[in-house]
């Protein structure tokens, strides 16, 4: 009986540890995407305090991305953020609806045709959105 309990506890520990490691990897990948494509306008910490804003080079100030959950009743608007990044939900400061910046850019960078490039594009966007979720202030 004791052996079974130890086995179950070991399995749960390994599963939990592996789950946390995977989550950390996803967030790290999203952080990379954010730094490459978003930080210029939204700032390194996502608070909107960027070089572009400080030089008055933006028509509108970028939002503080760490406050999205607070602005939505304590719940991170995961799929709304996803649609903004992939271009299906236009944002005035990201350009016209004909120019969904990041979704199209990610797709072009992964263009090798077929389902694999579409899956990679979606994965990059998901990682970015998970990273933004991790930035939320309580």
Place of tokens 């520990």: 13
pLDDT along the chain (138 residues), means of 10: 63 56 87 92 91 82 93 96 84 55 61 64 90 94
**Alpha carbon distance 122, 14 (integer Å):** 28
pLDDT for residue 99:
38
pLDDT for residue 100:
42
**Alpha carbon distance 7, 16 (integer Å):** 14
pLDDT for residue 17:
53
Burial (CB < 10 A; 0-12, 13-18, 19+), residue 63, is: middle
Q: Are 59 and 67 in contact (CB under 8 A)?
A: no
**Alpha carbon distance 45, 25 (integer Å):** 18
pLDDT for residue 37:
87
**Alpha carbon distance 62, 119 (integer Å):** 29
Residues 6+ apart with CB under 8 A from 128: 30, 33, 34, 37, 38, 85, 102
pLDDT for residue 133:
96
pLDDT for residue 56:
83
Question: Structure pTM?
Answer: 0.73
**Residue ranges of domains in the chain:** 2-134
């Amino acid at each position: 009986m004791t052996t079974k309990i130890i086995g179950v506890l070991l399995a749960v520990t390994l599963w939990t540890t592996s789950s946390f490691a995977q989550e950390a990897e996803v967030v790290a990948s999203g952080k990379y995407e954010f730094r490459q494509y978003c930080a210029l306008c939204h700032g390194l910490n996502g608070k909107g305090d960027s070089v572009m804003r400080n030089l008055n080079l933006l028509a509108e100030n970028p939002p503080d991305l760490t406050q999205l959950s607070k602005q939505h009743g304590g719940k991170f608007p995961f799929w709304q953020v996803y649609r903004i990044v992939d271009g299906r939900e236009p944002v005035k400061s990201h350009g016209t609806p004909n120019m969904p910046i990041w979704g199209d850019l990610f797709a072009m960078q992964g263009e090798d045709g077929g389902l694999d490039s579409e899956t990679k594009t979606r994965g990059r966007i998901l990682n970015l959105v998970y990273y933004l979720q991790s930035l939320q202030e309580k």
